[in-house]
Amino acid sequence: GRRRVEHHDHAIVSGRQAGLNMVRGQAQPYTHQSMFWSDLGPDVGYEAVGLIDSTLPTVGVFARGTKSDTPKAAVTKSDEAMRSESQEGEDAESSSATPSNPTPVKSMGDEKYGKGVIFYLRDDIVVGVLMWNVFNRITLARRIIR
């Protein structure tokens, strides 16, 4: 189905596909699963791909985070600028959607589970992946939802 994605990855790949379709004279379908990301400061960030919808059932797997599991550590390792600093002025979108099937959450006490993966399911099939403080794994996430 159709999905509206306003992010760098979608702009680059869909623009390239549109240009190729115009030059070739025959339309090739756009099948790329666009990703989006946000750094919510130096210690929290996420990357996501596929259908990320709060009305879908989810399965989350979390682990204790370390100092290397932060956006700041990820960009330090890759020698790039903080993505959130380069995106100043962009307004974050907010959603008031309430999950139609909330899952009870077990309290983990005072444990600091700072990184994890949330799988979004439709008919028991993974259709979206959100990675919380897990970086540079979008290729793997795309393979999971294919």
The overall pTM is greater than 0.85: no
pLDDT value, residue 17:
87
- What percent of the chain shows pLDDT beyond 70? 72
Domains and CATH numbers, the chain: 1-32 (no CATH), 33-87+107-146 (3.30.390.30)
Q: Report d(CA 67, CA 64) in Å as an integer.
A: 10
Q: What angle do CA 70, 132, 6 make, to 5 degrees?
A: 105
How many beta carbons lie within 10 A of that of residue 8, not counting itself?
A: 13
> What is the chain's mean pLDDT, rounded?
78
Query: What count of residues does the chain have?
Result: 146
Residue 120: what residue type? Answer: Y
User: Is pLDDT of 37 > 90?
Assistant: no
**Each residue of 45-104: pLDDT tens digit?**
999 999 999 999 999 999 988 878 888 888 777 655 544 443 333 333 333 344 555 555
In this structure, the dihedral spanned by the alpha carbons of residues 103, 109, 39 and 76, taken in order and rounded to 10 degrees, is -140
